[in-house]
Amino acid sequence: MNQPILGAPTDVRVVTAVGVLAHLAMASSFLGTILLAVVAEYLYIRSRSPFWYNTARTFSVISTIFFGVGAAFGTLVEFGLVTLWSNFISLIGEAIVLPFYLELFAFFN
């Protein structure tokens, strides 16, 4: 394997980038489907149309799936960052340690 100047093999960088981007996509999709579910529920309350009720339920189920998959990716990314990029985490951990701890404890308690 080629060792680049910064020290980590290219394969490790690619795996880390894919994991982080997948977690980011799942988190963004989760927040988007929650917003769509809230809007659909509001429209159901205003119109009492069964279409909006079913749409709100569908988006809530989809957001639950996004949450579960995103939580799994987030856990893998967190442990990957801690084990593979420990020097980087120690540098940024001094500044933003609280979000990392909150994310770890949110899924293990």
Cα 7 vs. chain centroid, distance in angstroms?
27
| Distant-in-sequence contacts of 7-16, Cβ < 8 A, 24+ apart | 8/84, 8/85, 12/84, 15/80, 16/77, 16/80, 16/81, 16/84, 16/85
Is pLDDT at 3 greater than 90 in this prediction? no
Q: pLDDT tens digit string along 30-66?
A: 999 999 999 999 999 999 999 999 999 999 999 999 9
Q: Is 59 helix (H, G, I), strand (E, B) or coil?
A: helix
User: What residue has token string 């709100």?
Assistant: 56
> What is the pTM for the complete model shown?
0.71
